[in-house]
A and B are shown apart, each in its own frame.
Chain A
Amino acid sequence: MSMLEISNLTATAGEKDILKGITLNVNAGEVHAIMGPNGSGKSTLAQVLAGHPSYEVTGGTVLFEGEDLLELEPEERAHKGVFLAFQYPIEIPGVSNAYFLRSAYNAMRVARGGEEVDPMEFLDVMEEKLRIVEMNEDMLARSVNMGFSGGEKKRNEILQMAVLEPKLAILDETDSGLDIDALRVVAEGVNKLRRDDNATIVVTHYQRLLNYIVPDFVHVLAGGRIIRSGGKELALELEEKGYDWLLQEAHA
């Protein structure tokens, strides 16, 4: 049994069909890259897996560790170990990053039958996690994502991932808007969190991120379907030739 089994998944946003039959298996220890042109449904797939209420699943199944993921509320999916690093991290005025992170950490612990940690204990947890994304402690005192630069927001997403230690991490265009240094920090953070018992889905438009986070599999999504799957070399081919040749092949 794979960790994640997506079968013939279809989904709509309002009246519009976005996902038109996605089938994908992800095993523990694997990194899958989902690539594709703008508007192909990459981000929708990420959001649907996390349970965003703007999308309606119209068909197919998604099993996570054998359990029907689509039946679960977003927070229940999170408790099971599904994490989405947002393309556009949300700002929450007046709520400190430290409080937000600790609330999330404690919510997960309690949902999994553990006990909450107090602020002092949590600081110890944070010390190590901050190093993973090369972030300073003063980031913790600021309001969640308020006034953060693009790079800081994305680093903050990876920090949350480091704190919550998901089984399945879905990175939605984590590379967008990052300069090369920030990209390196973010990618290294993700690599440090890779283990045999977790899996990562990297959604990206560009091959660039995959120089740092090397995928086991690359899937090309276009028009709401996976039109090609391959190894990491497929990403390099796309970098060289663009998406058009694949789209034409798919239409042929």
Chain B
Amino acid sequence: MSTEIEALVGREYQYGFVTDIEADTIPPGLSEDVVRLISAKKEEPEWLLEWRLKAYRRWLTMTEPTWPNVQYPAIDYQAVRYYSAPVTANPLGSLDEVDPKLLDTYKKLGIPLNEQKMLAGVAVDAVFDSVSVGTTYKAELAKHGIVFCSFSEAVHEHPELIRKYLGSVVPYSDNFFAALNSAVFSDGSFCYIPKGVKCPMELSTYFRINAADTGQFERTLIVAEEGASVSYLEGCTAPKRSTNQLHAAVVELIALDNATIKYSTVQNWYAGDENGVGGIYNFVTKRGKAMTNAKISWTQVETGSAITWKYPSVILQGDNSVGEFYSVAVVNNMQQADTGTKMIHVGKNTKSNIVSKGISAGRGQNSYRGMVKVLPKASGARNYTQCDSMLIGNACGAHTFPYIEINNNTATLEHEASTTKIGEDQIFYLKQRGMSAENAVSMIVAGFCKEVFKELPMEFALEAQQLLGITLEGSVG
């Protein structure tokens, strides 16, 4: 049985190729000068440089967190390159002038960017190393007053919005990696949905790390004004390399009164080989703030990265606001994941829902870490947490660290947890009905993840299907 399962979960990483492209890459190392250089390359206004420098100075005083249940050798922050951009990239995001090599790269990743072959109903911002190389459907979206562009472009075109919201949910001082990101972030996506507008298509960003020894530090900011709604998707891949690469992103979501933001991630960074050599360190801060009657929903399928450290969270600021977190995290070989969520109940009658599915295979270690915090004024707050682990094989591990902090007696919290092992009997049953071992495991895993997969938009459900080798047909609602 184990060899069949290994064959399934240990399939070759399909996105490990490198694009040979001339890049403007700065030497490794981090200093105030590097921060200034990045800001200068992006021709940023003075206030933004000042913000970066404050973040950098703050970062110097901070220490890397040691509480996650992951182990890795110390990172030499002076050995990382903090900026690398294809010289032919067009910073203003017009697709007509994008280097064909880049278009080709995205095509190979299954993300066609040229107008004729664009994914129907999905607008894509393509981020390559430190810059955005193009955004599709911009004109179409502009008709609705929706802004969807690279972060760099937004700094120039919509400085008032960036200035108002940047760091408003994740301050630069928030944590070690958020501070680092705030100092050196190079690009990312910006979405702005005006009052009352329901975004007519899925917005998505596809992140690609290409250059060696380079970190990717992107920043995503999504603002949904009163009554607006948007569904945003994020995908990520990187070449196979024998050295570890750092990815430290920050995502901020702002849902004003009655707004809805649905944020979905399929994370497939290179995970390292079966002996744990290489792979991405994925240290990410994601947080949303939901105002009155607003709703923020995170869905993530985490299959890649050598190490994942990530807790997409919601501050339930306004009364009746809703926060959701649906997660599938898969670790195989030597992968380690410490992921979960924080739901901070501030407003009255706020509701949060957490469904976490951890799958551990090989020698992988999977930890769920979640916090539900109810503040004194959050009367009538409710939380439901379900936290399930599945083990495949005998050498992996599943761990659960739930934290609960209640400061209001009217709160209602439920927590359910389970651990299961894929059983020989289950596989035999399905094989007796004519299915291959691979399909049997796929079916059992798909069933296990069903509650999360049904939250994914169709376009991503398909990618998740390919990723997990799962036939989702019939289990995606």
Query: Which A residues contact B (CB, under 8 angstroms)?
Result: 50-54, 73-75, 77-79, 83-84, 86, 89-90, 92-96, 98-100, 102-104, 107-108, 111, 119, 143, 160, 164
CB distance from A169 to the nearest CB of B (A): 12
User: In B438-477, which residues have CB < 8 Å from any A CB?
Assistant: 439, 443-444, 446-451, 471, 473-475
Q: A102 touching B434 by the CB < 8 A rule? A: no
Give the total of B residues in contact with A, Cβ under 8 Å. Answer: 28
The binding surface of chain B is classed by DSSP as helix
How many inter-chain contacts with C-beta < 8 Å in the A-B complex?
87
Which residue of A86, A103, A107 has the most chain B CB atoms within 10 A of its CB atom? A103
Q: Could you say which residues of chain A place their CB within 8 Å of the CB of B436?
A: 75, 107
The reply on B76 being an interface residue by CB < 8 A is no
| Residue of A74, A83, A92 touching B431 (CB-CB under 8 A) | A74
Q: Can you report 14 A-B residue pairs in the complex whose CB atoms are below 8 A from each other? A: A79-B434, A90-B426, A92-B429, A92-B443, A92-B444, A93-B448, A95-B443, A95-B446, A96-B475, A100-B443, A103-B433, A103-B439, A107-B434, A160-B433
Q: Which residue of B lies closest to A102 (CB)?
A: B474
| Bound: A99/B471 CA distance, A | 10
The reply on B87 being an interface residue by CB < 8 A is no
Query: Which B residues contact A (CB, under 8 angstroms)?
Result: 1, 423-426, 428-437, 439, 443-444, 446-451, 471, 473-475
18 more contacts with CB within 8 A, not counting A78-B434, A103-B471, are: A50-B432, A75-B435, A75-B436, A77-B432, A78-B432, A84-B432, A90-B423, A92-B444, A94-B448, A94-B450, A99-B474, A100-B443, A102-B474, A107-B433, A107-B435, A107-B439, A108-B434, A143-B447
Q: Could you say which residues of chain B place their CB within 8 Å of the CB of A74?
A: 428, 431-432
Q: Could you say which residues of chain A place their CB within 8 Å of the CB of B435?
A: 75, 103-104, 107
Q: Could you say which residues of chain A place their CB within 8 Å of the CB of B424?
A: 53-54
Q: Could you say which residues of chain B place their CB within 8 Å of the CB of A54?
A: 424
CB distance from B142 to the nearest CB of A (A): 40
| Bound: A160/B430 CA distance, A | 11
- Once A92-B443, A93-B447, A103-B443 are accepted as A-B contacts, the answer to whether A53 and B1 lie under 8 Å apart by CB is yes
CB distance from A113 to the nearest CB of B (A): 14
Q: Could you say which residues of chain A place their CB within 8 Å of the CB of B448?
A: 93-94
Q: B433 touching A164 by the CB < 8 A rule? A: yes
CB distance from A233 to the nearest CB of B (A): 33
Q: Which residue of B lies closest to A118 (CB)?
A: B473
